[in-house]
A = this chain, B = another copy of it.
Amino acid sequence: MIEQEIITEEQKLAARYAKAMGHPIRMYILELLTKQACCYSGDLSEILPIAKSTLSQHLKELKDAGLIQGEIEAPKIKYCINRENWEKARQLFKRHFKI
């Protein structure tokens, strides 16, 4: 055998998504985006009690994990859920929680 892997790729991916969701601010953003399709980071910046640079970091993490995507609508950026990966995450957690 080439490599004896104990932890599956699916578990790694599920952990990756979970980690991205593992902060109240990011959980808030994700829930907002599943409720209302899209939002501008400026809107979030007004609502959330954090510096805009911090918000930018959180958005980047969600983007890097693949859970959201940003579309330029100059000079703003419109953020939406990344449907494809969101569906993947949904399936993984569905199995994880046996829903």
A32 to B95, CA, bound (A): 13
Write out, one digit per residue, whether chain A residues 1-40 have a CB within 8 A of any chain B CB (1) or not (0): 0000011000110111011111111111011001000000
Question: Which of B19, B30, B96 meets A96, CB within 8 Å?
Answer: B30
- Could you tell me if A27 and B49 are in contact, using CB atoms closer than 8 angstroms? no
Nearest CB in chain B: distance from A37 CB, A: 13
Complex: chain B residue closest to A49, CB-CB: B6
Interface size of A by Cβ–Cβ distance < 8 Å? 32
Known pairs A6-B49, A34-B98, A93-B93; A18 contacts B27 (CB<8 A) = yes
- Could you tell me if B19 and A22 are in contact, using CB atoms closer than 8 angstroms? yes
Question: Which of B7, B18, B31 meets A28, CB within 8 Å?
Answer: B7
